[in-house]
Amino acid sequence: MVELATTGKSGTGAKNYDLATSLYDQAIAAYPEERSLYWGMGLALLLQGQEAEAQTTWMLAMADGEADEIERWTIDLIQVLKSEAERQAALEEWTVAWAIRQYIRELDPSDLENLLQSILLSIKLGSFSSEDFANLGVMELLQGKGVVDSAFLLQMLEQLLETILPDPLIFKFIEACIPHIDDRRELTYLIVPTATKLSFTYCRDDLAIPLLEMSLQLGTHDLPVLTELAPIYQNARQYDKGIEAAKRCIILSNTLPDQVYSSHSLVRGLMNAGGYWQEAISALQTHEALLEKLIETPPVTISSVLTLRLLVVNYFFSYFRDEPQRNRWLQNQVVEIARTQMQLRYQEQIDRYQQRQIASHPQSATKSKLKIGYICHCFYSHSVGWLARWLMKYHDRDRFELYLYFVNYKLMNDSLQAQYVEVADYARLMETSSVEIAEQISQDGIDLLIDLDSITLDITCEVIALKPAPVQVTWLGWDASGMSTIDYYIADPYVLPESAQNYYVEKIWRLPQTYIAVEGFEVGVPTLRRDELEIPAEAVVYLSAQRGYKRHRDTAKLQMQILRQVPNSYFLIKGLADQKAVQTFFQELADEEGVEFDRFRFLPNVPSEAIHRANLAIADIVLDTFPYNGATTTLEALWMEIPLVTRVGEQFAARNSYTMLKNAGISEGIAWTDAEYVEWGIRLGKDSALRQQVSWKLKRSKQTAPLWNAKQFTREMERAYEQMWATYIDSLN
């Protein structure tokens, strides 16, 4: 009879609690002293939803007992209820299991494992709140004498962190669990990906950093923790900590791929901070030597994590030097090493995607609609997000079906991200599994996949390496990745020289006018005034609004020469960087070039992009960076009708402002040498009529220039897609 009550099932599989209750009633009449019958009877009533009757039955059984007997009987009852809770959970009857555990809690509020099991069931039911920790008294029990099995606690943490909420109470709970966990290394493996998700999905570096710092205190496996912590420190503008963490990674790195990535992390930290020029040069030289060693003797096998990291270790050469042949050779070689590793690892998936493409092989290039997929991690308030939106807006939906693949979709309120979700025919909100993303692209039957990330995101590179679409293209987000599975790289007549194809793996596809066009930017209310900055009304104001990455010492020296030769001129400097280091950087240069440092103003960041653009109006001239020009910042300056001086080089990064000026119909300010850069800076500073003429031309250009004609640009991109598709079909027939 006990078994019948516990299973609650008849021979046909239907619940038969009524029969169980009746049988228990008969047994209790015959054996009133047998307490286990009461436990079973109450459980049968409870499973029928007769909660009050169940409690009455249990209380009746204990009514005449002594204190020690009641304690023993309570333990017995709890064990019966636990067994049934476990059975119901195994049947995935989460609600019933959770309800039973609430009765156990009433009988023994200090049963820590039962409370934790209740939380696990709440997670499965979608009703979990971090307040449960406080309401159930879990924290106090963990911090006191509560006992819990270490393996169970790890299992619970794993499930909790899979559905992590960006809530500080959860991390206090993790901290309280640490003394109860025997396998600290396993705990580290749980914490690191959670912290990464908090940083890059929830944009909560304030929670990711203490979580990783907590993991460091475990002292079990520091390199994986520091490898994640260094860039998160840097992104959170804790520049000194980011640099120090990267240096510790270098010390702890034993394999060549680890050394390469740790070296890259240090260069990133130094450049992110800005102002650490000599140290950054030295770090880059070491980094380049490690890359050469890797290219010369590539490892036979590289872990999946390190393979991903190798995709992004060439990011900074173009910030230091305008040597595209050398830079791209390094890029192409290292990316090929990583791609080969990924091909070995994912050959089954690659073969499956190719078979699908062959099976759906069309007989002609003509389709009612081409399926265009855009993959990017920046479909939100980001430079790429602000620029790419116009193409999405003007796509011809009668000829193209638009799929957007949001890599690491941001769980935050962002109006631009919401616009992208709305504009897509199909918005795929993905996380960070490259295989899952590639599988989705393949199943969607995408014809052309457009990569907007290049090497700025390793996950996207890995997706591209799997070749889930028959035609793959890189556009906008950065220079080409060097991945051989990319068919085309979008450029225009100006942004790459004619010789560029000699050192690109991808085929360069030049649009007839410009590789980017926008219809403008939202502009807010300015928060800067000259008088508040103690700048005279008649002064000439130069501006540089770039992050620390782009501040090259040689270009900054040219800017000092301009200031020195333009009387009553001031220099406004703005951008993400270590403000103290940047000020020291410019003060040293100003002293070397004989420029008074009281002519410099270092501007804080503002709450929104719209305010930032409004504040650009305080400037008379924008001085561009080199060898890495502005891109979005250049477009913003031109939209605000401010003359700009740019130095043109050979690499893509050194020709962005050049193509934008050309496509706005402006020749003034385009410099082909350092001397011309200084000359244009001085000329525009001294000649107010020339500045007004350029501003007037920029104003007029909004009605006629290719740079501001997003609709025409979209038609040109669409023609390119159709021609690429036709070329692909021809290659199959």
Topology of domain 1-108 in CATH is 1.25.40
Please compute the mean of the pLDDT values over residues 610-630 and round it to a whole number: 97
Minimum mean pLDDT among 335-339, 548-552, 709-713: which range? Answer: 548-552
Taking 60 as the threshold, does the pLDDT of residue 588 lie above it?
yes
What's the confidence (pLDDT) of residue 1?
39
The model's confidence at residue 9, banded by pLDDT at 50, 70 and 90, is: very low
Q: How far is CA 708 from CA 345, 624, 657, 700, in A?
A: 45, 20, 14, 11
Query: Alpha-carbon torsion 325, 331, 335, 336, what sign?
Result: positive
What's the confidence (pLDDT) of residue 28?
82
What's the confidence (pLDDT) of residue 629?
97
Minimum mean pLDDT among 24-33, 162-171, 234-243, 515-524: which range? Answer: 162-171
Based on the number of CB atoms within 10 Å of its own CB, is 108 exposed (0-12), middle (13-18) or buried (19 or more)? middle
The dihedral formed by the CA atoms of 301, 302, 303 and 307, expressed in degrees to the nearest 10: -140
What's the confidence (pLDDT) of residue 14?
37
> Nearest 5 degrees, angle CA 558-CA 560-CA 562?
75
Task: Please give the Cα distance from 200 to 432 (Å, whole number).
Answer: 10
What's the confidence (pLDDT) of residue 368?
82
| φ and ψ of 423, to 5 deg | -75, -25
Taking 70 as the threshold, does the pLDDT of residue 415 lie above it?
yes
Please compute the mean of the pLDDT values over residues 76-93 and round it to a whole number: 90
Give, for 374, the enclosing helix (H) or strand (E).
strand 370-376
Please compute the mean of the pLDDT values over residues 209-224 and round it to a whole number: 87
CA within 13 Å, CB half, 253: 22
Taking 90 as the threshold, does the pLDDT of residue 733 lie above it?
no
**pLDDT digit string (tens) for 420-473?**
999 999 999 998 899 999 999 999 999 999 999 999 999 999 999 999 999 999
The model's confidence at residue 15, banded by pLDDT at 50, 70 and 90, is: low
Q: Which residues pair with 544 in a beta bridge?
A: 573
SS3 181: coil
Amino acid at site 709: N
Alpha-carbon 188 to chain mean position: 21
Please compute the mean of the pLDDT values over residues 380-392 and round it to a whole number: 95
The model's confidence at residue 4, banded by pLDDT at 50, 70 and 90, is: very low
**pLDDT digit string (tens) for 477-503?**
899 999 999 999 999 999 999 999 999
What's the confidence (pLDDT) of residue 164?
64
Which of 347-354's residues contact partners 24+ apart within 8 Å by CB, and which partners? 349/435, 349/438, 349/439, 349/466, 350/466, 350/467, 352/442, 353/438, 353/442, 353/466, 353/467, 353/468, 354/467
DSSP 8-state assignment for residue 576? S
> Nearest 5 degrees, angle CA 78-CA 84-CA 85?
85
Taking 80 as the threshold, does the pLDDT of residue 62 lie above it?
yes
Taking 80 as the threshold, does the pLDDT of residue 12 lie above it?
no
Domain boundary assignment for the chain: 1-108, 347-510, 540-708
CATH of region 347-510, choose from 1.10.540.10, 3.50.7.10, 3.90.650.10, 3.40.50.11380:
3.40.50.11380
What proportion of the chain, given as a percentage, has pLDDT over 70? 97
Q: Which residues contact 586 (CB under 8 A, 6 or more apart)?
A: 556, 571, 573, 597, 600
Topology of domain 540-708 in CATH is Rossmann fold (3.40.50)
Q: How far is CA 676 from CA 368, 684, 697, in A?
A: 52, 12, 21
What's the confidence (pLDDT) of residue 136?
87
The closest of 536, 553, 552 to 598, measured between CA atoms, is 536
Query: Alpha-carbon torsion 123, 128, 133, 135, what sign?
Result: negative
The model's confidence at residue 185, banded by pLDDT at 50, 70 and 90, is: confident
Indicate if 540-708 has the same CATH topology as 347-510. yes
Length of the chain: 733
Average pLDDT value over all residues in the chain:
91
Please compute the mean of the pLDDT values over residues 5-30 and round it to a whole number: 63
Taking 90 as the threshold, does the pLDDT of residue 58 lie above it?
no
Task: Please give the Cα distance from 150 to 293 (Å, whole number).
Answer: 44
What's the confidence (pLDDT) of residue 555?
97
Task: Please give the Cα distance from 399 to 368 (Å, whole number).
Answer: 6
Taking 70 as the threshold, does the pLDDT of residue 5 lie above it?
no
- Note if the bond before 224 is cis, omega within 30 degrees: no
What's the confidence (pLDDT) of residue 363?
64
Taking 60 as the threshold, does the pLDDT of residue 8 lie above it?
no
Amino acid at site 11: G
